Chain A
Amino acid sequence: MKFTEADVVARVETVTVEELRIWVSEGWLVPESADDGPVFDEIDVARLRLVCALRQDLDLADDAVPTILSLIDQIHGLRAELKALAAAVDQESETTRARIRKAYRTAKGWER
């Protein structure tokens, strides 16, 4: 699904078009830039809802928002790496996985 500025403002009722433009220019959202204006997809809309939640539900100041977004982006980056690593380990034989499990528990200090 693709959305224009007007679609986005209609879907996310708690945002004004002015706010949306400011947040895009701040780089909080990075919609695709097409000839007749920005094009948002579903992840942009979900991220916009997150920005609204941070400001309204969590009552965070505007200057705290980029910090939180950056931390959330880093968490998702790390989670993606961790998932890829787990998927790679999963490809291995049971013997290898058992060895990795043991080495992991040792690294965590649970086993010697």
Chain B
Amino acid sequence: MADNPYTVLGVPQNASQDDIRAAYRKLAKELHPDLRPGDTAAEERFKAVSAAYAILGDADKRARFDKGEIDASGQERPEPTFYREYAGADPSGRYRSTAGHEDFEDISDLFEGLFGQRRAGGGGKMRGRDRRYHLDVDFLEAANGARKRITLPAGGSLDLTIPAGVQNGANLRLKGKGDPGVGGGPPGDALVEISVTPHPTFSRDGDDIRIELPIGLDEAVLGGRVETPTISGRVAVTVPKGSNTGDVLRLKGQGIRRKGGAGDQFVTLKVMLPDDPDPDLEALMKTWRENKRHDPRAKGTES
């Protein structure tokens, strides 16, 4: 039988759900095994705390526990696996960082070249080092996906697939494309950081694409079919009669296409007058103003 969950979390029987959550978070910050990689005792305590919170953090389960319908041990959750077990065992050590321990070399020549450097010592197997590259990709290539080739400084080249919808700053990892391993060890990886060049027309919002589309006064008043660019070419879109600057049309599925779904394109209309003053239009407007009294500031501009 496990300990009373109220005791484990250190809260009174009448604690509110908020108090229970706060108590759990405080203990989790203190005990989470990934924040204490070498501390085995913390793991046991954290498991007890998690089990207690699994009951008390859920108002229904808590009520059933209070009524004695379930007991504290009846809530075993699947054994959590912590990151530290993988980080400690991963032979590639690709997330491990040994940056910034050069100061150790001042203490002893034992440390010279020890940290972070992989030297072929004693014929041991050693994984090759990762190589970092940088690649500029234009907006449409990033949106639609592309095949790219990087020419390597040391000669040779690296082919990579830019997945559709890649984000600015994303890191692509190409397995085995880094430095060769030593003594029969596996090669390192190539890490390619992607910079996406902005586009003058399109902008991105997740998998959705946004553009501002100029329309003429006649198209705004009368409506009609106009062409709009999309990331995969031009398409015709219907501007409804009486459209205004700021109105948004949604082109379903014309955003970034991925496996299992596509984003949309949102077109924000912008009514544009002709570049040069037009006498006919002015004459029409004079008549219109005399006959109609429309005040566009009647609402929405209260001060």
A residues bordering B, Cβ < 8 Å?
6, 18, 21-22, 24-27, 30-38, 42-43, 46-47, 49-50, 53, 57-59, 68, 70, 72-81, 85
Contact = CB atoms under 8 A, between A and B. Distances in A.
18 contacts: A6-B260, A24-B171, A25-B166, A25-B169, A32-B174, A32-B189, A33-B173, A46-B87, A49-B83, A53-B28, A58-B25, A59-B25, A70-B97, A74-B99, A76-B96, A80-B88, A80-B93, A85-B114
A27 B169 contact: yes
B66 interface: no
A46 B90 CA distance: 12
Interface string B241-268: 0000000000000000001100000000
A104 to B, nearest CB: 12
Given A57-B28, A73-B95, A30 B34 contact: no
B206 interface: yes
B28 A37 contact: no
Contacts of B29: 58
A26 B82 contact: no
B82 A47 contact: no
Kindly name the residue among B24, B34, B81 whose own CB sees the greatest number of chain A CB atoms within 10 A.
B34
B40 to A, nearest CB: 14
A89 B191 CA distance: 34
B183 interface: no
Please list the 5 inter-chain residue pairs (A to B) with the smallest Cβ-Cβ separation, ordered nearest first.
A25-B167, A33-B172, A50-B83, A43-B86, A25-B170
Nearest to B100: A74
B149 to A, nearest CB: 14
A43 B90 contact: yes
A70 B167 CA distance: 21
B225 interface: no
A20 to B, nearest CB: 12
Given A30-B94, A32-B175, A49-B80, 6 more contacts: A25-B166, A25-B171, A47-B87, A50-B83, A58-B28, A80-B93
Contacts of B173: 30-33
B185 interface: no
A79 B174 contact: no
Contact of A25 (B35, B85, B87, B168): B168
A43 B81 CA distance: 10
A35 B189 contact: no
Given A50-B34, A81-B98, A37 B167 contact: no
Contacts of A35: 161
A27 B171 contact: yes
Interface centre among B84, B94, B96, B160, by most A CB within 10 Å? B96
